[in-house]
Structure 1
Amino acid sequence: MPPADDKGFPAFAPPAGLRHASLQSTLASKRPVQRLWRKKGLDLNAKSIAHVLDCGHGVRLTGQQTPAPTAASRGLAVLVHGWEGGHDSSYLYSMAARLHTEGYATFRLNLRDHAGTHDLNEEMFHSARMDEVFGALARIRTLEPQGPLFVIGFSLGGNFSLRVGLQGSSRGVNPRLSIGISPSINPASTLEGIDSGPALFRWYFLDKWQRTLEAKRRAWPRYDFSAYRQLKTFVDTTRRFVADFTEYATYEDYLAQYTLTPALLAASPSPLAIVTSRDDSVIPIRDFAGLEVGGSVVACDITDHGGHCGFIENWRFDSWAERRVVALLRDA
């Protein structure tokens, strides 16, 4: 029996064959979750409603609303994908399906230029665009006004979710709990981690970026990204991108907009929870040094295994992170 935390929740203890970080990270996005959930009798997309949200100032974002399975909703969980993910990303779909079975309404929000939405907004996505996320949350809340609000994000989406907790009270959004799963809280070290990590990961992320730039160019022919094909690292690509497509004077100014320190998290005006792993090659564990339960941080689970957004606990490809989130929402 795996050891438990101080509230009795079993720790993450995958079998030996599932412990490798790269395998965990791959399974996070490659599990056949829609087929697995259909075998359990749930086709989430068949129960979902597609929306294009007016987020203010002409910005439109999309997402999938899934009402609670009964009239007695336990609340609304807004889920935010990682960079280059979307509402049908395996980890996001499966989390929404699990929360649906637990009685929650869910909304899988697509960030700008994600999930094939490059044509909706002319200006480029970047990670400091919080205004439109708050605009989306305000619209989503009118669709699902019942019960408390929870915000749950993965990787870069985890950073967005934690910022909702940090900034929400000043913007009229008051989440009962905001959860970051493998959250990128120090973007500088995340970018450096991708460049210094496994070459396959760096190639994978750079290829995804090239694909999204090409999709943006097709949607808005005024863009010319030809210079980006010569860039070979994530840091160099981001530096060029900041200069070309953001309002920030320097790379460092841009990263500062979404750098979250342990001290900042502990002082959040609303409760936060974090789930991450020591073997995550994308999010260095040193970023969380000094972060512990206390203040507004109601949970800080740092597992030995899990990779990046993985936390697959058995050969049925069940997710320990989903069970943990259900427990955290119940406690909240």
Structure 2
Amino acid sequence: MLGSSPMRRRRGERELAALRPITTEHIVDGGDGVRLHGLHSRIEGAPPRGLALLLHGWEGSAESSYMRLTAAQLLRAGFEVFRLNFRDHGDTHHLNEDLFHSNRIGEVVHAACDIAQRFPARPLMAAGYSLGGNFALRLALRAPVAGLPLAHVAAVCPVLDPARTMEVMEAGVGVYLGYFERKWRDSLVRKRALFPELHDYDNRTLKQGMRELTRWLVERHTDFGTIDAYFDGYNIAGERMAGLQVPASILTSEDDPVIPAADFRELRLPGTAYLEIARWGGHCGFLLNGKLDGYGEHWVAERLSAAASP
């Protein structure tokens, strides 16, 4: 809760602004007419060590506190940074008619290839938080076939088995479930206002709980048919990352209330993958002190910097 507090947001704004980066907005190609928005930042006059693509969590955005704080750490480490907004995140609901869902990995891969061509600084890295960590790892799985020159990925508290995450949230104290339900409903209301002829769902639909609202999304707005097939579509647990060819670093915590640490111990990972399970940290929190310094953003910068070293 403190990790997403106004204090952290203000700190992210201050730290990024203090570096005075040159930041430009871009609309990148997600394929099949999909348009995604992102922010490219660099320090003027500094030859880059590489390009870091950052992916936010569900209902976050390129302007989330952890995205800004991680961007600041990476800029200090000599990287150029591209913060990508997923479809319907940030102020991007108007860019595409169809709704976001977690299996839209194809457009993120396509966008990453476009970004790599626009900004050819090498090596190319990627990092993500929560659902963004899941996307980053799936991006790495698909990079060789897509021709994406991805050198390393870092994932903080990535979603592994979404069906299990749903069960854990439903059995928990309700803070996380309520937070995401509220944010998702707000997003769907915004989408309906922009495209009323395409999205004519009523408020009764929006009042459903997380599981039923997800089931509605799957049945009405995807080709998966069932919620189980949908969850399986972006499941990366167990042996699903055994064939990962891109070196990867993964950080989680023993006390994550959303994604059980036991699931990470059951992962079958290649020798080029590094897994760190911290004693404390919550879900993407990892606060170090009263100033709300975060271990997560330092960890991402350290892992990508080490990977970029000769």
Say whether the fold is shared (TM-score over 0.5). yes
Structure 2: tracts of 5 or more residues without a match: none
Alignment of 1:74 with 2:49, yes or no, is: yes
For 1:2-151, what aligned pairs fall within 5 Å after superposition?
26-30=1-5, 32-33=7-8, 35-36=10-11, 42-43=17-18, 47-151=22-126
Identity of aligned pairs, percent?
37
Residue 273 (structure 1) shift = 1.2
Conserved 8 A contact 2:254-2:279: yes
The residue number in structure 1 matching 2:189 is 214
Residue 225 (structure 1) shift = 2.5
Amino acid at match of 2:208: L
For 1:215-230, what aligned pairs fall within 5 Å after superposition?
215-222=190-197, 223-226=199-202, 227-230=204-207
CA distances 1:31-81 after superposition (whole Å, capped 9, x unpaired): 534643566584468631111112221110001000245442110000000
Equivalents in 1 of 2:112, 2:72: separation in Å? 20
The residue number in structure 2 matching 1:183 is 158
CA distances 1:143-184 after superposition (whole Å, capped 9, x unpaired): 320110111000000000000111110001131111110100
- Using structure 2 for the length normalisation, give the TM-score: 0.92
Amino acid at match of 1:197: G
SS of structure 2 residue aligned to 1:119: helix
Which has the higher relative contact order, 1 or 2, with Cα contacts under 8 A spaced 6 or more apart? 1
Q: Does 274-283 or 74-83 show the bigger shift?
A: 274-283
Alignment of 1:301 with 2:244, yes or no, is: no
The residue number in structure 1 matching 2:222 is 246
The residue number in structure 2 matching 1:18 is none
The residue number in structure 2 matching 1:12 is none
Structure 1 residues 171, 292: closer, same or farther in 2, change over 3 A?
closer
The residue number in structure 2 matching 1:277 is 253
Alignment of 1:193 with 2:168, yes or no, is: yes
- Using structure 1 for the length normalisation, give the TM-score: 0.86
**Candidates 260, 263, 278, aligned match of 2:236:** 260
Conserved 8 A contact 2:22-2:43: no
Equivalents in 2 of 1:40, 1:239: separation in Å? 40
Structure 1 residues 321, 70: closer, same or farther in 2, change over 3 A?
farther
Q: What RMSD in Å do the two structures reach over aligned CA positions?
A: 2.0
Conserved 8 A contact 2:206-2:213: no
Q: Does 65-74 or 146-155 show the bigger shift?
A: 65-74
Equivalents in 2 of 1:195, 1:39: separation in Å? 36
